[in-house]
Every structure is written in C-alpha cells, then in structure tokens.
C-alpha cells in the first residue's frame, strides 16, 4: 500500500535527513517508526503526503508513483495527525473534526454528521464536546480530536506523527488502547511515528527502528525485542527487552497446565481424594458447563469430609486472564494476587492455568520462533531446553 524505494532527502543546508530508505507497508498494516529525535521520522512521514519532496528515489501509494499524483488529490486519501495536534483554536471541536470533509466539498450537514460520528468513535460525546473550543479540552481529549479529524474523510491511509505524545503515561495507554480497538475495526494502512519504544511495540504490527536517517531493523515487535539486528537496536530497545517482550507475547492454549479439578456439585471428600491422587494441594472448581467457579484447598476439603460440599467450600478466584492476553498481564495478575498461577479463560470457560515456569517457557518459545522465522507452536520443547 505504501512503498519506499531508495528514498533520500537532503535539505538545502546539506543535512541528510533520510538516506536510501526502502520499505513497504501492507494494506491494513500498522507500522511504527521509532528512533531518537532528529533521525528523520517526520521527514519520512511528510514525504508520503508530499509536504516534503524527496531528493531522490520513489514513493508509491496504492501502486501509484506519488510524484505523478496531484498533491491535493493525494492528501484526500491520506489522513494526517500532526506532531502537537494542531487544532484550529477559533473553531469548535465539531468544525475542527469536519475540516477535511468541508475542504473537499461535502455539504455542511453531511460533514457535521460525519464529524459527530467520529467524535463518538474516539470516545468524545459530540453533544458535550462538539461546541467547545480546543482550549476547553484536556490534552488527551485534544489528541482524540486530532485522530477523529484525520479519519473524517475516511482515507485508506493514515499518517500519525507522535499522536499520543503530549499526555501523561496513564492517559497515553488509554488512548493507545482505544486506538487499537478502533484500528481493529477500521483497518487503515497506518504509519505511526513515536520516539517511545514501548509505544512502538504496543501498537505496531511491524516496527521500523531508525538510526540516523536509515532503518536499522524492520520487523515484528517480538523479533525486534527478541533478536535485535544490530548492537544499536539492542541498545535502543533497552536491557529490559525481555520484560518488554512479555507485553507482545500472547497466552496460547498450549502454554497451559491442567490442574486438579473439583466439580461444583460433588462432595468434599471426593474432591479431596482426587487431589491426593494427583498430588495436588488445591483444585480449580468448575461447574457442569466447564465454567470457572473458584478454587478449593486439599486441607479444607479433607476436613469437611463426607458431609461437606464443594459448592460451600469454594473460594472466589480473582487471579484470571483471558486467553490471548499478553504474558505481561498474566504476570501482573500473579503479582497482584500473590498467586503461584493464574487461571486462563475463554469467555467464562476454563482452559487451564499458567504458572511461572510455563510463562518462562512460552517466552523462550516465542524468542526461538522469531529467531528461526517459524510459528511458536513449531518450536519443539527440545529446542527450548537446548537454547
Ligand atoms: N527544513 C529543514 N532544513 C534543514 N534540516 C532539516 C529541516 N527539517 C528537518 N531537518 C533536519 O533533518 C533531520 C530529521 O528531522 P525530522 O524532523 O525528520 O526528525 P524526527 O525524527 O521527526 O525528530 P523528532 O523526534 O525530534 O520529531 C534533523 O537533523 C533536522 O534537524
Ligand atoms: Mg518529528
């Protein structure tokens, strides 16, 4: 969808901002450009909508060499969230959002209806915020308006330059989550600039790690964190890249252990017998549908004996995560509840438990898979043990 072919940008004063850049962004893909200040990220982005012209090389959007496309027409197909948001201070939020549709000649009512729909999409109630001015919004809300405005004309391509840069870390994570949810629904082709490796990893399907005007590595977040291509990349992603990797590696059913199970409708001594059989000190309690109800300990089940019923003994289970959640979330839940394991659910159905040992194994498996360029389920346990 977007292709750079040997693109170089040299500014009039001789600064080479971008040097022989070649990469491709697939349709519906979100690629993050990450690197230190001044490495050429904004320059890269502004060449896509021809706000900056390359010195040499070609850029293609949807197969077309953009040097041959009228810049105004080109920009209609490309939403742009600029660094520092850049809302018009004397226009209302609704009118700010409707800027592009109005520019390209939509009827006023249609442009405003579309703007209201988009404000809603980014979590701002148009009846509350539509008539306000930018200065009457918080930083996070303004950034949401920036995103809504870029989406207003429904462009297939979205350029976002540090779209969540100007807010505190908590709001930032919230905006990132909202954006990911939205992107899953609208599937734009996105180039997103950030200087924050955490953000790059969190949002990107793939990441381009920039050195000075060049891409040092272009790969999935897992691969960049697991197998940095150069010492520069290793340094840039940081010594805690193993920890960061936890947030991009997802829990799969194969990672799970099957603990002892007690049924909600059985007697305590039968449950205790089953736990003893498997050498377990506790069991998860499931109902007839296989949904998680809670857990029960061996000692209390044994003590309650024949007359006791699992349903009366079961404790509520707070340490759980949905399947597909990042390993980091499971680790966080373990620490929060001081638990040696977390239950993993598919909806309310119990799938198994994740233990620290399994968590470590899942992480190693995904590092190996990325290094070998294969799927995680293709990594045999041996290769993990050998590594
Ligand atoms: N108009 C210009 N004339 C000369 N040099 C420029 C011009 N615009 C940018 N540069 C230089 O080009 C290099 C890349 O700039 P660019 O704005 O692309 O960096 P960036 O990666 O977006 O940085 P930041 O993270 O600080 O936004 C920098 O060294 C910058 O000083
Ligand atoms: Mg920049």
- pLDDT tens-digit map of 363-380: 888 777 777 777 777 776
Q: Which residue owns the Cα nearest ligand 1 atom 19?
A: 38
Residue range(s) of every CATH 3.40.50.300 domain in the chain: 2-249
- In this predicted structure, the answer to whether residue 352 has a pLDDT above a threshold of 80 is yes
Pocket (CB within 6 angstroms of ligand 1): 11, 13, 15, 17, 37-43, 195
List the strands of the sheet with 64-65, edge to edge.
16-25, 2-10, 56-61, 64-65
Q: Report CA(44)–ligand 2 centroid distance (Å).
A: 9
Structure tokens at 167: 């807010």
Residue range(s) of every CATH 3.10.580.10 domain in the chain: 253-362
Q: Tell me the β-bridge partners of 315.
A: 295
Q: Report CA(38)–ligand 1 centroid distance (Å).
A: 5
Q: Which residue owns the Cα nearest ligand 1 atom 4?
A: 11
Q: What is the mean pLDDT of the chain?
A: 88
Q: How many of the other CB atoms lie within 10 Å of CB of 206?
A: 20
Structure tokens at 57: 């090389």
**For residue 112, is it left (φ>0), alpha (ψ between -120 and 50) or beta?**
alpha
Q: What pLDDT, on a 0 to 100 scale, did the predictor assign at position 381?
A: 59
Report the C-alpha dihedral over residues 222, 228, 229, 230, rounded to 10 degrees.
160
387 within 8 A of 372, measured Cβ to Cβ? no
Alpha-carbon distance 250 to 286, whole Å?
24
- Tens digits of residue pLDDT in 239-287: 777 778 888 888 988 889 999 999 999 999 999 999 999 999 999 999 9
Is this structure's pTM higher than 0.85? no
State mean pLDDT over 321-349.
90
Which single residue is written with the structure tokens 């506790």? Answer: 282
| CATH architecture of residue range(s) 253-362 | Roll (3.10)
From 9, 33, 38, 214, mutation site for ligand 1 pocket: most ligand atoms within 8 A of C-beta: 38
Asked if CATH classification 3.90.330.10 holds for the domain at 2-249, the reply, yes or no, is: no
Alpha-carbon distance 278 to 385, whole Å?
25
Q: Which residue owns the Cα nearest ligand 1 atom 7?
A: 11
Structure tokens at 20: 């022989």
Q: What is the DSSP letter of 135?
A: G
Q: Report CA(39)–ligand 1 centroid distance (Å).
A: 7
Q: Which residue owns the Cα nearest ligand 1 atom 6?
A: 11
Alpha-carbon distance 186 to 183, whole Å?
5
Q: How many of the other CB atoms lie within 10 Å of CB of 100?
A: 22
Q: Which residue owns the Cα nearest ligand 1 atom 25?
A: 37
């Amino acid at each position: 969808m977007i292709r750079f072919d040997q693109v170089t940008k040299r500014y009039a004063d001789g600064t080479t901002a971008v040097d022989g850049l070649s990469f491709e962004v697939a349709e519906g893909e979100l690629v993050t450009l990450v690197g230190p200040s001044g490495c050429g990220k904004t320059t890269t982005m502004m060449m896509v909508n021809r706000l900056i012209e390359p010195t040499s090389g070609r850029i293609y959007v949807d197969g077309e060499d953009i040097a041959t496309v009228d810049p105004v027409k080109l920009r209609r197909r490309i939403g742009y969230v600029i660094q520092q948001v850049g809302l018009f201070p004397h226009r209302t939020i609704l009118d700010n959002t409707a800027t592009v549709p109005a520019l390209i000649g939509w009827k006023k009512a249609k442009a405003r209806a579309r703007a209201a729909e988009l404000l809603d999409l980014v979590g701002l109630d148009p009846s509350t915020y539509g008539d306000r001015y930018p200065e009457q919004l918080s930083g996070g809300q303004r950034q949401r308006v920036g995103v809504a405005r870029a989406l207003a004309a429904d462009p297939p391509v979205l350029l976002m330059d540090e779209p969540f840069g100007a807010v505190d870390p908590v709001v930032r994570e919230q905006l990132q989550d909202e954006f990911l949810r939205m992107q899953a629904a609208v599937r734009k082709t996105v180039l997103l600039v950030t200087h924050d490796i955490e953000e790059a990893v969190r949002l990107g399907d793939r990441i381009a790690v920039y050195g000075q005007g060049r891409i040092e590595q272009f790969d999935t977040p897992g691969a960049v964190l697991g197998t940095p291509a150069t010492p520069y990349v290793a340094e840039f992603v940081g010594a805690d890249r193993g920890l960061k990797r936890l947030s991009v590696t997802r829990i799969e059913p194969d990672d799970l252990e099957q603990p002892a199970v007690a049924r909600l409708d059985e007697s305590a001594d039968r449950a205790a017998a089953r736990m003893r059989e498997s050498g377990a000190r506790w069991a998860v309690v499931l109902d007839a549908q296989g949904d998680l109800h809670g857990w029960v300990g061996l000692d209390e089940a044994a003590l309650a004996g024949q007359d006791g019923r699992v349903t009366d003994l079961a404790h509520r289970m707070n340490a759980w995560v949905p399947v597909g959640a990042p390993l980091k979330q499971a680790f966080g839940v373990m620490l929060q509840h001081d638990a040696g394991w977390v239950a993993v659910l598919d909806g309310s159905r119990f799938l198994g438990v994740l233990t620290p040992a399994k968590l470590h194994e899942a992480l190693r498996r995904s590092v190996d898979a990325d290094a070998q360029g294969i799927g995680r389920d293709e990594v045999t346990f041996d290769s993990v043990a050998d590594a």
